[in-house]
A = this chain, B = another copy of it.
Amino acid sequence: MNVLISCAGRQAGLVRMFQAALDGRGEVIATDADPLSAAFCLADRSFVAPPIAHETYLDWVVELCRANDVGLALSLFEADTRRLESVRRTLEQAGCRLIGAPPEIIDQTEDKVRTRDLADDIGVAYPGTWTLREVLEGAALPAGPFVVKQRGGRGSRGLAMAGSREEVTTLAQQSSEADNWIAQVRLVGEEFGLDVVNDLRSRYRGSYQRRKLRLESGEAQVAVSASEEVLLELAPRIAERTNHQGCLNVDLMLVDGAPTLLEVNARFGGDYAFSHAAGANLPALLVAWAIGEPIQEAWLHSRPGVTSLRTSSVLPLAAAPGSWKPGA
């Protein structure tokens, strides 16, 4: 059985983790539309993909999974996961399990206004959020401070700082896309990453958490594995609502000990690696569930108190990635 990492991008580390999890029982296949993706440096097979929005894309993926004995597929880009959900049945008939989530959940996580509904359903706080359109129409905003960001942006993309209610109003008046930008109350607290782990039948199995000590451009540079009771209790409530398969990555802020949801992503998050460095092993769990083998209980846990740091390295691209042609 082989594993497909779609939109693998720079995540060479995740390729290595899945190779270790497979331990010779299969290969890791990386695909990305960008031929200069760092994941290609380590993947056993690499293919340059069509753009995910292209009309041929889904057929291309299904055919690739069939021809390459892919038993487990996941994407590192949520819009891709959303598309792959539409061929979940086809993939399963070909023996390929998809890590994903119900499309309506992904739609909620991709829209920072609708994420509020998801938070309400889970029963967790969400920061006050208004579209700039609502601001223009006179919504009653608190004093601030606010952060202004794209309604569908990821991480720190499309982020504009705006301190006060007055500055938000000025920005709203200047905006030509008032429906696609939001103003969100900026909280002060401790930022956490939480992975909610379901098995491939969407049954809750556990969670990993880490406190982010340093962030740069929205990416954790330093984090320490944690074990906050309030997050241990929250994780199964999230899982019950999201009903996802595999991994759901959640950003939270603890304000005076109480959790506020910041962002949900139905995929591996970039900061999972901090839990992996502390003993978690989600790739091993997913591979075992896909193959139908017993898991090791230890994979479900990370040791709290392990501080880890992000570093960069440079990998040679041993061979140019292939161009997969269906039916070839």
Contact = CB atoms under 8 A, between A and B. Distances in A.
Contacts of A274: 314
Q: Which of A213, A222, A316 has the most CB of B within 10 A?
A: A316
Chain A residues touching B, range:
20 to 34
A135 to B, nearest CB: 30
B36 A214 contact: yes
B311 A311 contact: no
Nearest to A39: B311
Given A277-B315, A316-B278, A310 B36 contact: no
A307 to B, nearest CB: 5
Given A277-B316, A316-B278, A13 B307 contact: no
A10 interface: yes
B309 A13 contact: no
Interface in A297-328: 306-317
Contacts of A312: 10, 13, 310-313
B309 A38 contact: yes
Given A36-B213, A213-B36, A214-B36, A313 B311 contact: yes
Contacts of A132: none
Contact of A308 (B13, B39, B309, B317): B317
Contact of A314 (B277, B314, B316): B277
Contacts of A222: 36
B311 A317 contact: no
Most buried by B among A40, A276, A314: A314
A230 to B, nearest CB: 25
A12 interface: yes
A273 B316 contact: no
The interface centre, meaning the residue of A273, A307, A311 with most chain B CB atoms within 10 A of its CB, is A311
A150 interface: no
B12 A311 contact: yes
Contact of A306 (B11, B308, B311, B316): B316
A29 interface: no
A158 to B, nearest CB: 17
A41 interface: yes
A274 B273 CA distance: 24
A215 to B, nearest CB: 13
Chain B CB count within 10 A is highest, among A13, A40, A214, for: A13
A265 interface: no
Nearest to A36: B222
A19 interface: no
A37 interface: yes
Contacts of A36: 213-214, 222, 307, 309
A4 to B, nearest CB: 19
Interface string A201-237: 0000000000001100000001000000000000000
19 contacts: A10-B309, A10-B310, A12-B313, A13-B313, A13-B314, A36-B213, A36-B222, A36-B307, A36-B309, A38-B309, A273-B313, A274-B314, A276-B314, A307-B316, A307-B317, A308-B317, A310-B312, A310-B314, A312-B313
